Amino acid sequence: MAGRMKNRGIKPALVFFSLVGLSGCIDYAVETTVNPDGSGLRSVRVEATDAGRLADFKLSPRDFTELMFFSEREGWVHETHVASGDTTQVFRLEKRMNDLSSWFDLSDEIRIAGVPPASSGSSLGYLTLGDVQFRNRVWVRMGENADGNESFSYQEQFLWENGIDAILEFILEGLEQSVQEAYPRLSERDRGEILGFARASLWSAVEDGLLDSSGDEQDHLLKRAMDRTAVQGIKVVRRQYPAAREEPLKQRLAAFSEEWGADVEAEFDRTLPGISLAMNSQISFRLKLPGRVTTTNAHEREGETLVWEFSPIDALTAPIVILAESVVGG
């Protein structure tokens, strides 16, 4: 049995940039049952407490349901529960699978958009914000072993499309403003070149573990990315500022990454509310397969039920994959 999935250092990295989201939380409870004939049942219950500080996110209740794909047209039922002065929004969805081929229809059932529909055409750097979202994919297969016993294979994948790209482009937007303040005579093209160096350096840092690390290691990777940017960027700066030196630019870029605070946090919430919501969401996933489970990466077993627990934000650097296989008979 695999160990419990972790956030791979993503939250420390985001906290470093002051990108911390909701004070409340959104809890998903996903129950999935596969029957011996290939049919089955999927039940999803979501509880959202303090859902959103929606005014801070500049989201209406309708924006929130569309951002999380909780609308009635998607099949969700909504209830409001009030207890001891606390309000919880509850969203429920239930689907019956009639046969093996219908399981793929559960794909995109669990989704979080980066931005609400009204902002989906907006751009952040080279990204269209409507292309940023968390989603699931489902595959269920039934076969026969060499001994004649039926076997089942269940796979569900949760992934972010363009999630890291969006975070880095948000950072680069702030970096561009900082460079413009320091060197106002630079042209838009000049700033674009410097951003290109920074983008490549930050992606290299991500590949080297920026979002999987914390503390001194994370500081080292970020500093190295900014230093590399300065080495290339100073050549661009000198087109307009011939006497400019590399060290002050390095210091400027270092200061930029240390000055982020509440104002930037609020701006991130408004720019990419879906990622902020995901940071405080948790998914408890429970699966029952026919027969005897032979292979799984489940975190726990409760009797015949396989259990996984993770957060959507855990899928930023790599997809979360749920795997299980079983044999009926034998």
Numbers of helices and strands, H then E, in the chain: 9, 14
- Residue 23, pLDDT score: 43
- Residue 104, pLDDT score: 94
**Phi, psi (deg, nearest 5) at residue 250:** -60, -45
- Residue 10, pLDDT score: 38
Of the two residues 59 and 242, the one the predictor is more confident about is: 242
Query: Is the per-residue pLDDT at 260 higher than 70?
Result: no
> 190: closest CA among 158, 144, 254, 236?
236
Average per-residue pLDDT for the chain: 87
- Residue 310, pLDDT score: 95
Confidence of residue 3 (pLDDT cuts 50, 70, 90): very low
Here the tokens at position 202 are 């930050």
- Please give the Cα distance from 216 to 18 (Å, whole number): 17
Tens digits of residue pLDDT in 189-233: 999 999 999 999 999 999 998 887 777 888 888 889 999 999 999
- Please give the Cα distance from 68 to 91 (Å, whole number): 10
Residue pair 200/225 in contact (Cβ under 8 Å)? The answer is no
Q: What is the DSSP letter of 53?
A: -
Tens digits of residue pLDDT in 22-58: 445 889 999 999 999 999 999 999 998 765 456 666 7
**Phi, psi (deg, nearest 5) at residue 8:** 55, 30
Residue pair 175/198 in contact (Cβ under 8 Å)? The answer is yes
Of the two residues 4 and 196, the one the predictor is more confident about is: 196
Query: Is the per-residue pLDDT at 309 higher than 50?
Result: yes
Residue pair 46/26 in contact (Cβ under 8 Å)? The answer is yes
Query: Is the per-residue pLDDT at 184 higher than 90?
Result: yes
**Global confidence as pTM:** 0.86
Tens digits of residue pLDDT in 75-101: 999 998 887 777 888 999 999 999 999
Beta bridge partners of 25: 49
- Please give the Cα distance from 60 to 9 (Å, whole number): 31
What is the arithmetic mean of pLDDT over 241-263? Answer: 82
Query: Is the per-residue pLDDT at 258 higher than 50?
Result: yes
